[in-house]
Structure 1
Amino acid sequence: MSAPAATHGWLARFLLTPGTALHDLAGALGHALVSPRADILVALTAAGVLAAVRILAGVRRARVGARARRITIMTPPEVGPKAAIALWSHLIGQLRPAWRRAVCGQPHLGFEYTVTREDGAAIRMWVPGAIPPGLVERAIASAWPGAHTDTDDSAEPPLPAPGSESRRVFTGGELRLGRREALPIRTDHSGDLVRDLITAADDLAPGQGACVQILARPVTGRRVARATRTDNTRGGVVGGLLAALVREVLDLLTPGPPARSPRANATPSDRQAAMEYNSAARAAAVKARGPHWETLVRYAVSIPVSEDSGGVGGARRVARGRADALATVFGACADHNFYRRRRRWQLARAIGQRRLGRGDVLSVPELATLAHLPTEDGLPGLHRAGARALAPAPEIPIPGPHTKPLGLADTASRRPVAVRVADARHHLHVLGPTGVGKSTLLANGILADAEAERGMIVIDPKGDLVTDVLSRLPRRFADRVVLFDADSAAPPPCVNPLDIDRTGRAGLDLAVDNLVTVFHRIYSQWWGPRTDDVMRASLLTLCAQPGTATLADLPRLLTEPAFRARVTRNTPDPVLRGFWEGYETLSDAGRAQVIGPLLNKLRAFLLRPFVKAAIAAGPSTIEFGDVLDQGGIALARLPKGSLGEETSRLVGSLLVARTWQAATARARQPAADRADASLILDEAHNFLNLSTPVEDMLAEARGLHLSLVLAHQNLAQLPRDLRDGISANARNKIIFAVSPDDARELARHTSPWLSEHDLTHLDAYHAAARLLVGGQQARPFTLTTQPLPAPTPGRAREIAAAASAGGTGRSARAISADTSAPAAVDTSAPAAADQKDASSGTGDPRMT
């Protein structure tokens, strides 16, 4: 026998006598409901449930909206009509799993159009901190190529709230679908909704602002099924039971003959109604396909209260009119569905906190119709991107031991980019007007080369580049610095272009050719074959004598008969002897006419103390070959304001010629022993005046491990042959914002990735780069230059003083030559010769 049912547990009693167990449960519930404390218990339970729900909702909102950021989108030059669909289809991927949505909630996004008088029209996205950084930025860059984004971590309200700055009127409302969610709004209307919104908010007074805010959250599952139900299934089982109950009650209240209810799936008998019904059904079926977003549209206008606005009443009327204009724009979306305006309590708080409760379900095309970038140009005050941002190819290196840094990639990754030292031997062409960041790029490269102990020679015709470098060089580099400063009272080092002790006869021919060619190109307007002949013969004659010749000897050779007789007496070359024999047969007037164009230029050149000390003071006190081979830092500061344009060009060209002589001497070294070095020319077109064609010079320099950095402002500064040579042989190119004419030609190097428009709309300190990687051209990318480190006060003076006190970097060979070799200038010549009538060399400068 089994035990009585009363002795078993509740589960056993329910299984043995289910009727009795249910009866006991019903009795217990009835007793609890009729007890005196039942109402208190029910109230407390309901209050606890509501409080828990409210607390949970607040915690979820706080977690979802914490660390929110605001992304400003700069519209690219061209916007595709379906780009917004790609964006919202991409972002649907941030939908969380069902269990996580139930526990933590689903983050939503905010797409905002804001117009103010001060900042113009701006399009921004509000992104909660729960969404990983960079996800939305990359989606924007993918959907709208060329769009720029600026992320602000403050996530401030789009409009100032009332009382935040002054008395304000804040008005607006919400837009909700007027019919059931299954019916779509219009997505193919003509025109541009964004243009209409910005135009409606145009012509704002100072302090006024308008905003349209679209909050969107991806949804799925039952929320989508409930929103996209048709009339046949709308309400489900519970809805059907409730509808049947209501019909029965109405039949009892209003008795009459029974009417046969039509079938649920019957269509209207009227033809027009049937067509509308079928059209709506097809549109709802189309909307039901694909992903969906739950959305809420808010609009608001903020107007300051002032006497000019007519007080609070006048400001409220203006704000109401502006707000109605914004809401009216959405009337263009009316189709099977439409938007209806609703009031919203605490509108300023709702817009500032960007809360999204229950919204309207839209498909991706519908949301893209509301939230997109304008497709038309010329919108007033709209923030537009300059050039598209292109990420560097994976093979572009990052800064390291064997690279030269350039800057940071102008994309969301912001990774540093560089060019390999071996690829830099193919030379770097830097182009851009003043103030765009060329000097910053050059200075960073110079400091990096100094850290890597690579030799360099820098020629700066403005002076700011050398000053920036000197004020940032570490103190330990002072013993490696050779400084030519036209504004310094300290004597500069001497680099004599006629000092050929190291290079021999081959160096003599190159030195003379370079000197004559430099003078010829700089003074081409007043230079002819006779002047060219006189200068070439004179230099060759001087260099054939024992000792070291200088340019200061040239006027004496041409004007002093006694000095000329001593120099030419033992000239071994019969051609030169014939030249001087013919020269002696000229009358004084004929001789003055021949040498006048040359002497007036030499005197203007040599009368400047800095020039004479740096170029014609005797044997060279510094060898550029040692600078290139031993990691020296030669800085030539030649400001045109101090020397004059022609003298600055002439001195810089002679330094370039001397550098080229030192580089060609490397041909005697094994290729593996040639240290990498650089020649950096700011305003390079002023100094490329050598006898060697530029294309040959660039090709030979690559094998000699000399990298040239050629920077200037525009292509019109270059003669056609020089332009073609640099275009073909300087294969690494950094292009800052350029003129439309230059962009038309330079776009051949960057198309199809970057267009002419991109090259003309680069921002300051932004550049387009096309580099060699392993000898092969990589695709172009955009970068931003890195700011220079802060200057050290007094460092420039300290390094300049150390360079001057250290003998200006004299090499042992130069010191030996200075103390042992006699000069070609005969210091014992009669003083009267120095007083020879200077008028013999002051002929018409145009006479050749």
Structure 2
Amino acid sequence: MNTSTGIAPTGPLTRLLVDPGAVLRQFGHTIAQDGRFAGPAVAAAVLLAAAGFLAARARIRARWQAAYRENARIITVLAPPRVDIHGAEALWSHLLGLLRPPRARLFSGQPHIGFEYCFTRAGASIRVWVPGTVPPQMIERAISAAWPGAHTTTADAATADFAPVPISAAATGGRLVLARSEVLPIQTKYDVDPLRPLLGACASLGGAEYAAVQILARPVTGRRARQARRKVRLLRGGGADTPAQRILDAFTPGARRAPVKTQGGGTGGMDPAQAAQYRAASAKAAGGLWDVRVAYAAASSEPGERESSPRLRGRAHQIASAFSVYSGANWFARKRLSDPAPVLAARAFHGRGHLLAAAELAVIAHLPTDPGAAGIERAGAASIAPPPGILAPNPEEGIKPIGTTDTGIARPVGLAVADARHHLHVMGATGSGKSTLMTHMLLDDVQAGRGAIVVDPKGDMIVDILSRLPASVASRTVLFDADDPACPPRLNVLQCDQVDDRDMVVDNVTGIFSRIFRAYWGPRTDDVFRAACLTLLTNDPSGNSHLGDVADLLTNPVVRARKTAGITDPVLKGFWESYEQLTEANRASIIGPLMNKLRAFLLRSFVRNSIASGPSSFDMGQVLDGGLLLARIPKGILGEQTTQLIGSLIVAKAWQGASKRARIPQSQRIDCSLYLDEGQNFLNLPYPVEDIIAEARGYRLSLTFAHQNLAQLPKDLREGISANARTKVFFNASPEDARELERHTSPLLHAHDLSHLGVYQAAARLVAAGEEKPAFTLRTTPLPPAIPGRDRFIREVARAAFGRAPGPTDDTDTQDAAPAPAEADPRFWPEAD
């Protein structure tokens, strides 16, 4: 620029260009002059602004942590019998989806989850802490997907029971941090479960001793991941990887070795150890990353226990030492932790942790893979989700409740009425949930107006049913109760409405007696009994003749002459002619075995009043078309054989009523159900079981057959039920039975699963839309609360409608019924007589 004109430069830009040194010296002089007056104020303002920023940030983060703790949940995880070694990596890779978008992180932060190993004298439990801002169902589903068969239970984390160690206990502990750069990985490849040292360190705790390891983890944001990749690049180039190193490099640029330039960014020319670390760090930074904090504690609630006691310090040292198994390119170092019990209970994630890849997090936070890991409570059986096509209960659509799923979010499971016609086989020990399952199904039948019959040889199930029935069903309920023999309903098994049914009635009654008394029932006894029953039916099919008349027919000549006078059948007439020619001694010898069976049966007043005292007081066909018959016949009151006889006769009468449906079109047949608890006692009809079951489906009679074990079933009954009762619900079974039953549930559920099912847990293979679906597991739901006074009300109304008080003569139905309550309408059904 030309300055010979003598005109001095006036603009600041001109002065800076003409003499930059002078301008900078003048600027520095001005700052120095003004700084003596404004410096303290500026410094104070800067400090106040910084303090305000830090306080605001702390308050915001505290608010975030409070939001995480509010409504937080604890998910307790029971490991399945077989743990997939790759499941943990799948879980943590899946949960990377918890990473929030930048805007959401700005206002609400990034929530973390906690994985905890908690140890007591009873053993180890594995828990997952879920903040209140994360739906626990999401975590449950992720756990179920990672470890099929794992059981999860969710509870409120605010209760003291779910603190890792008791807050009031004396505790010592620490933190575990990565010893080297966080981009270098720990060891992740093992031939055996790396949790073994930790489980061993926390074994054999005393009654007041506790131990815990807590792993808090949150997905890493993009900025943190970029910083990690930058550190990896610096590892390859030999550059600085910390702020301090970068500052030193700025002042001493020649102090570091020149970067090693490799073709294509590879490791050629690098030191082998450095190259191995670079490759490991590159692999770690390439995948999803977690920000992780690891803490541990050993505690004791023994009186007088101190945090510094050698016992607690030794236990804490063992826990920390167990993590040395993860040493590789990186390892864990210990740091002190003050007040470990409340710190672990707070589950707060302050500041930054250390970066771990999903594979690294998986090796320190997973379910034990050793089948015999000490102190680990495992799920007894695998939990399997229901397959597609399994319906939910819906009374309006005719879908009965079965239970709820036990994987992920519990949802109800149902069985369509049309599919129930393929019959239901229920097996399980006493108290496993069979009665609860059948009670739910029965109550649904009653609410929908479908007919149902229940035969209960123990009595508890019907007690539960009576106290939960709707009041509207009282007037159509027939109740046989051995504990209430005063005024029972009548069921005459020798009564038939159609002449064509006589042979079937006689076959049923004779067949039942012969099966129950098979060891003492010969052809002669069968012949006499059959002829006597057929004679009584021929003489009076209306129901005035009953089983009690068999003894009079065989022993009283006057009665015999009257009953046989009108017989025209030559074979039956020939039998009685031969019988009359026998001497009294011969007759006594022939009828003796039969008479002692009948006498033992009829000597019980309940049996005599309900089975052998006159015409039936109800119509079994009407029961099947919308009524309810409850037979409470406990073996402890009646004896085993009497219970079998009464139950079998009721089943025979039900079968007789169902068979009549052959005379009406199938579309007009109303669905009904027959529930047999300990069903092997009552399926004694003289027909093959497979034929009965197949025909019952056509009559729309659904059979629910329940029992305790396979040894109770004769071979023909076992095979018939196995093949023809297509819906299976198996509660806990013995190992021997489980090996037999797994044919119905494999490949998803095996013998081990069937023999280790939990309380009220069952393996189910349902029929849906006529097709057998794969097996899955479920839990029965508790019964609704009992309705006060409902049991007594149902009994009174049922007694008034169908009860018949015994009198001095029982050959007619003239005895007075019990008085009916005002709410009852005994005219609901016309009485059969």
User: Normalization by structure 1: what TM-score?
Assistant: 0.87
Give the Å deviation of 1:203: 0.7
Distance in 2 between residues matched to 1:760 and 1:667, nearest whole Å: 42
Find the counterpart in structure 1 of residue 248 from structure 2. Answer: 243
2:170 aligns to what SS in structure 1?
strand
Tell me how large the CA RMSD over aligned residues is.
Answer: 2.9
Q: How does 1:185-334 map to 2 (within 5 A)?
A: 185-227=186-228, 228-229=231-232, 230-231=234-235, 232=237, 234-235=239-240, 242-247=247-252, 262-265=257-260, 274-306=271-303, 312=306, 316-334=309-327
1:204 aligns to what SS in structure 2?
coil
User: Does residue 50 of structure 2 align to residue 40 of structure 1?
Assistant: no
Instruction: Render the CA deviation track for 1:521-540: whole Å, top value 9, x for unaligned.
Output: 11111111111111111111
Find the counterpart in structure 1 of residue 704 from structure 2. Answer: 709
**Residues 551 and 25 of structure 1: CA distance in aligned 2, closer, same or farther (over 3 Å):** farther
Q: How does 1:593-608 map to 2 (within 5 A)?
A: 593-608=589-604
**Number of residue pairs matched by the alignment:** 781
Find the counterpart in structure 2 of residue 364 from structure 1. Answer: 358
Distance in 2 between residues matched to 1:15 and 1:700, nearest whole Å: 107
Q: Which residue type is aligned with residue 354 of structure 1?
A: R
User: Does residue 672 of structure 2 align to residue 685 of structure 1?
Assistant: no
Find the counterpart in structure 2 of residue 254 from structure 1. Answer: none
Give the Å deviation of 1:800: 0.7
Find the counterpart in structure 2 of residue 69 from structure 1. Answer: 73
Give the Å deviation of 1:26: 9.3
Structure 2 counterpart of 1:521, from 500, 515, 519: 515
Give the Å deviation of 1:132: 2.2
Q: Which residue type is aligned with residue 303 of structure 1?
A: S
Single out whichever of 138-147 and 370-379 deviates more from structure 2. Answer: 370-379
Q: Which residue type is aligned with residue 397 of structure 1?
A: L
Find the counterpart in structure 2 of residue 437 from structure 1. Answer: 433
Find the counterpart in structure 1 of residue 546 from structure 2. Answer: 550
Distance in 2 between residues matched to 1:484 and 1:274, nearest whole Å: 91
Single out whichever of 491-500 and 793-802 deviates more from structure 2. Answer: 793-802
Find the counterpart in structure 2 of residue 336 from structure 1. Answer: 329
2:539 aligns to what SS in structure 1?
coil
2:165 touches 2:210 (CA, 8 Å); kept in 1? no
1:134 aligns to what SS in structure 2?
helix
Gaps of 5+ in 1: 1-12, 249-258, 821-848
**Residues 802 and 819 of structure 1: CA distance in aligned 2, closer, same or farther (over 3 Å):** closer
1:126 touches 1:155 (CA, 8 Å); kept in 2? no
Give the Å deviation of 1:33: 6.0
Q: Which residue type is aligned with residue 688 of structure 1?
A: L
1:417 aligns to what SS in structure 2?
strand
Give the Å deviation of 1:817: 8.7
Find the counterpart in structure 2 of residue 53 from structure 1. Answer: 57
**Residues 239 and 717 of structure 1: CA distance in aligned 2, closer, same or farther (over 3 Å):** same
Distance in 2 between residues matched to 1:340 and 1:240, nearest whole Å: 22
User: Does residue 727 of structure 2 align to residue 729 of structure 1?
Assistant: no
Instruction: Render the CA deviation track for 1:29-53: whole Å, top value 9, x for unaligned.
Output: 9626633634433332332222222
Q: Which residue type is aligned with residue 212 of structure 2?
A: C
Structure 1 counterpart of 2:342, from 337, 349, 359: 349
Find the counterpart in structure 2 of residue 154 from structure 1. Answer: 157
Structure 2 counterpart of 1:127, from 125, 130, 153: 130
Give the Å deviation of 1:591: 1.9
Give the Å deviation of 1:226: 2.9
Instruction: Render the CA deviation track for 1:610-664: whole Å, top value 9, x for unaligned.
Output: 11111111111111011112x1111111111111110011011001101111110
1:345 aligns to what SS in structure 2?
coil
**Residues 639 and 196 of structure 1: CA distance in aligned 2, closer, same or farther (over 3 Å):** same
Find the counterpart in structure 2 of residue 256 from structure 1. Answer: none
2:309 aligns to what SS in structure 1?
helix
1:53 aligns to what SS in structure 2?
helix
**Residues 424 and 16 of structure 1: CA distance in aligned 2, closer, same or farther (over 3 Å):** farther
**Residues 157 and 490 of structure 1: CA distance in aligned 2, closer, same or farther (over 3 Å):** closer
**Residues 40 and 606 of structure 1: CA distance in aligned 2, closer, same or farther (over 3 Å):** same
1:193 aligns to what SS in structure 2?
coil
Distance in 2 between residues matched to 1:451 and 1:411, nearest whole Å: 29
Give the Å deviation of 1:294: 1.4
Give the Å deviation of 1:316: 1.3
Distance in 2 between residues matched to 1:260 and 1:161, nearest whole Å: 49
Q: Which residue type is aligned with residue 206 of structure 1?
A: G
Single out whichever of 368-377 and 552-561 deviates more from structure 2. Answer: 552-561
Find the counterpart in structure 2 of residue 469 from structure 1. Answer: 465
**Residues 819 and 233 of structure 1: CA distance in aligned 2, closer, same or farther (over 3 Å):** same
1:159 touches 1:211 (CA, 8 Å); kept in 2? no
Give the Å deviation of 1:375: 0.6
**Residues 382 and 510 of structure 1: CA distance in aligned 2, closer, same or farther (over 3 Å):** same
Distance in 2 between residues matched to 1:495 and 1:433, nearest whole Å: 32
Give the Å deviation of 1:14: 8.9
Single out whichever of 199-208 and 139-148 deviates more from structure 2. Answer: 199-208
Distance in 2 between residues matched to 1:126 and 1:360, nearest whole Å: 19
Distance in 1 between residues matched to 2:311 and 2:282, nearest whole Å: 42
1:407 touches 1:784 (CA, 8 Å); kept in 2? yes
Find the counterpart in structure 1 of residue 557 from structure 2. Answer: 561
**Residues 27 and 350 of structure 1: CA distance in aligned 2, closer, same or farther (over 3 Å):** farther
Instruction: Render the CA deviation track for 1:406-455: whole Å, top value 9, x for unaligned.
Output: 12222223221211111111111111110011111111111111111111
Distance in 1 between residues matched to 2:136 and 2:303, nearest whole Å: 42
2:74 touches 2:130 (CA, 8 Å); kept in 1? yes
1:391 aligns to what SS in structure 2?
coil
Give the Å deviation of 1:261: 6.2
Single out whichever of 541-550 and 753-762 deviates more from structure 2. Answer: 541-550
Find the counterpart in structure 2 of residue 92 from structure 1. Answer: 96
Instruction: Render the CA deviation track for 1:589-610: whole Å, top value 9, x for unaligned.
Output: 2222211111000000011111
Find the counterpart in structure 2 of residue 389 from structure 1. Answer: 383
Give the Å deviation of 1:287: 1.9
Q: Which residue type is aligned with residue 795 of structure 1?
A: R
**Residues 238 and 639 of structure 1: CA distance in aligned 2, closer, same or farther (over 3 Å):** closer
**Residues 238 and 643 of structure 1: CA distance in aligned 2, closer, same or farther (over 3 Å):** closer
2:76 touches 2:153 (CA, 8 Å); kept in 1? yes
2:310 aligns to what SS in structure 1?
helix
1:577 aligns to what SS in structure 2?
helix
1:399 touches 1:416 (CA, 8 Å); kept in 2? yes
Give the Å deviation of 1:182: 2.2
**Residues 25 and 69 of structure 1: CA distance in aligned 2, closer, same or farther (over 3 Å):** farther
User: Normalization by structure 2: what TM-score?
Assistant: 0.89
Find the counterpart in structure 2 of residue 8 from structure 1. Answer: none
2:501 aligns to what SS in structure 1?
helix
Instruction: Render the CA deviation track for 1:332-386: whole Å, top value 9, x for unaligned.
Output: 1111111111112332332121222211111111111111111112233322112
1:189 touches 1:333 (CA, 8 Å); kept in 2? no
Q: How does 1:398-409 map to 2 (within 5 A)?
A: 398-400=392-394, 401=396, 402-409=398-405
Give the Å deviation of 1:748: 1.1
Find the counterpart in structure 2 of residue 634 from structure 1. Answer: 629
2:260 touches 2:269 (CA, 8 Å); kept in 1? no
Distance in 2 between residues matched to 1:782 and 1:42, nearest whole Å: 65
Q: Which residue type is aligned with residue 200 of structure 2?
A: T
1:312 aligns to what SS in structure 2?
coil
Single out whichever of 355-364 and 201-210 deviates more from structure 2. Answer: 355-364
Give the Å deviation of 1:210: 0.3
Structure 1 counterpart of 2:445, from 449, 465, 469: 449
Find the counterpart in structure 2 of residue 833 from structure 1. Answer: none
2:320 touches 2:334 (CA, 8 Å); kept in 1? yes
**Residues 499 and 306 of structure 1: CA distance in aligned 2, closer, same or farther (over 3 Å):** same
1:738 touches 1:760 (CA, 8 Å); kept in 2? yes
1:191 aligns to what SS in structure 2?
coil
Find the counterpart in structure 2 of residue 787 from structure 1. Answer: 782
1:172 touches 1:298 (CA, 8 Å); kept in 2? yes
Give the Å deviation of 1:761: 1.6
User: Does residue 84 of structure 2 align to residue 110 of structure 1?
Assistant: no
Give the Å deviation of 1:141: 0.2
Distance in 1 between residues matched to 2:590 and 2:261, nearest whole Å: 113
Q: Which residue type is aligned with residue 359 of structure 1?
A: G
**Residues 261 and 585 of structure 1: CA distance in aligned 2, closer, same or farther (over 3 Å):** closer
